[in-house]
Amino acid sequence: MKLFTIYLISSLLFLSPMVYAQTERVAEDIDRQFVIELKDSYGIHALERLISSQFPSVSIQRKLSQSQPLFLLQTAASHQRVAVMQDLLAQDIVQLTFKNEAVELRKSPDDPKYGIQWTMDKIGLNQAWDITTGGTTMLGDEIVVAVLDDGYDINHEDMIANWYNNPHDQPGDMNEDGCPGDCGVDDDGDGLIDEDNMGREPGDAGYNSTFRNDDDENGYKDDTQGLNPKTGTDVHPFKSHGSSVAGIIGAEGDNGIGVTGVNWNVKVLPISEGLTIADVIEAYNYIADLRKLYNNSDGDKGAFIVSCNFSAGISNAWPDDYRPWCDMYDIMGEQGILNVVAVPNSTVNIDNDGDIPSLCESEYLIAVTSTDEDDALAEAGFGRENVDLAAPGEEAFTVDPVLSSGYGNFPGTSAATPHVAGAIGLLYSIPCAEFIEYFKENPSKVDSLAQIIVHSGDRLESMKGLTKSETRLNVYNTMIELSLFCGGTAEEIEITKLYPNPVENELTIEFSADPREEIYVEIYNILGQKMRSRVMNYPLYEEPLVTINAEFLIPGMYFISLAQGKKRVALKFFKG
């Protein structure tokens, strides 16, 4: 109690104002900040009473989650923080406290130089783009990939068409009724009506009526084009790092200018200034709430966010110290969002040295390291227990608004990670209704999609012992695996239909087979002599059939044979 008295008297001497019910954002000082988690049955009102009665030098900066009792608090001076955290932790309503800390962007410091987009062919996109170039699902859902980074060039020529635009929250009070969302309605499905950013409802002490401009009632005014958690708006700092990450995911393709992203068409949701733990937690909650609202409204509200990219973190850190952060990956995953994170840009074994968020234990999290053009490990972290997958990142060429050309090299794990996050977005656009139906009806099952992505990559000798999968991302291989949702079979090869029979000119064979293996098509006469043969790939996301020219055959009986490995099937047919 002596320590509590010291920092209380200190704050009074400096005449720090008592602020315990803030709803508008004020200048933040990370060295004075900490995150507090209340026990489940408590919320903003209980916290305000506690702060006003016992901790008058502490201000409530912002609520970090609409669904969890997580708040960012700030002391009057940095030297008070530890003592305040300890005293708060002793209170009955408090579950957890921890310091707010800065995260480090994981871009290699190498100077940019001009290059080409070798990374796209390396991960099989030259073949994958023959199947789809992104945009929407087979059911018409607009695919969204979220990015949490430092800032963006919102007006870059190659990105301007592919930023996400929130149709449910436009500038001002859209319906001009003076309420968040629609008056008297729980627009966001959180059990509260017309609440402000702190979860206060009209009539509650401290209710902030300025949130009438919060059209979708999610706690943020005019979040039309993403979110800046620092300001609570969609105004983003002009930054290179986030622009480059977004460009790899979704620079507009086939538009005659600049570069292309993994997706030619996709919607990138920008979250900026995600550079502290509090920002990360708040941003993740914002993203999770958007997807949850989409799920619960059958697509009428929210956004169909399928992945989130975070190319930053804290080195030499362990999950036990960052539980609320690590918990977010399961929370988001249960709504159908896979998170892709970057390991450090130094050759360290994160299994031994620690790293957050790479070591967070979640089946919905993919930790990515970086490889160069020769598939060797770049200057990047590794770990056979906690690094899931490699992706090309060294000297990736993409958007760079700082350079006069608007484009340049972007090396490091920060470049590797968005190849994976973007690939998840692209996969959702494959022409397979069964695939999208399954994951929309079972969003929490997307951990199985993560496993398919990780284990369908190209197995590399250079990754042996360095990652769990020992593979490098290959998007086309993943599309082959996912085709099993749409009629392929990994069990047997079978001819399901053969026509016309007898045949005069062209014979059509419908079949089922393993889409991962080549198919050998052969014609034999009744003496067992091979008359014609060809090798074909399984026709991904198309009707599995093959046509054979039979004009060269003389009238008689023949056999058509289809084979994959040791599996073979044959049927007889007649030439008329």
- C-alpha to C-alpha distances, 98 to 65, 72, 321, 505, nearest whole angstrom: 16, 10, 8, 76
The pLDDT, as a whole number, for residue 106 is 59
CATH number of the domain at 104-166+226-446, out of 3.40.50.720, 3.10.180.10, 3.40.50.200, 3.20.19.10?
Answer: 3.40.50.200
| Secondary structure of 494-511 in HEC code, one letter for each residue | EEEEEECCCECCEEEEEE
Q: Which two tokens stand for residue 197?
A: 């950013």
pLDDT value of residue 107: 41
How is residue 537 annotated by DSSP? -
Helix axes 240-250, 413-427, angle to 10 degrees: 40
Q: Name the phi and psi angles at 16, rounded to 5.
A: -70, 130
Residue 551 is which amino acid? E
> How many residues are recorded in the chain?
576
What pLDDT, on a 0 to 100 scale, did the predictor assign at position 489?
A: 65
Residue 434's H or E segment, with its range, is: helix 433-441
Q: How far apart are CA 160 and CA 151, in angstroms?
A: 14
Consecutive 10-residue runs of the chain (576 residues): their mean pLDDT? 36 33 56 93 94 94 91 93 92 92 60 59 92 94 97 96 91 74 81 83 84 78 89 93 97 91 96 91 96 95 97 95 96 98 96 97 98 96 97 94 93 96 98 94 96 96 97 96 78 89 93 88 89 86 88 91 91 92
- Looking from the CA of 282 toward its CB, the CA atoms found within 13 Å total 30
Residue pair 241/104 in contact (Cβ under 8 Å)? The answer is no
For the entire predicted model, the pTM comes to 0.81
Task: Name the class of domain 2-99.
Answer: alpha beta
Instruction: Give the type of residue at 188.
Output: D
Q: Can you give the pLDDT at residue 26?
A: 47
DSSP 297-344: TTTSSS-EEEEEEE-EEEET--GGG-HHHHHHHHHHHHTT-EEEEEPP
All structural domains of the chain with their residue ranges? 2-99, 104-166+226-446, 178-222, 494-575
Angstrom CA distances, 39 to 69, 74, 219, stand at 7, 20, 21
Report yes or no: 521 and 533 within 8 Å, Cβ to Cβ.
yes
According to the model, what pLDDT value does residue 27 have?
61
- CATH code of 494-575, in short, is 2.60.40.3080
**Shortest CA distance to 507 belongs to which of 515, 499, 516, 496?**
499
- Residues 287 and 144: beta-carbon distance below 8 Å: no
Report the C-alpha gap between 65 and 219 in whole angstroms: 9
Three-state DSSP state, 355: strand
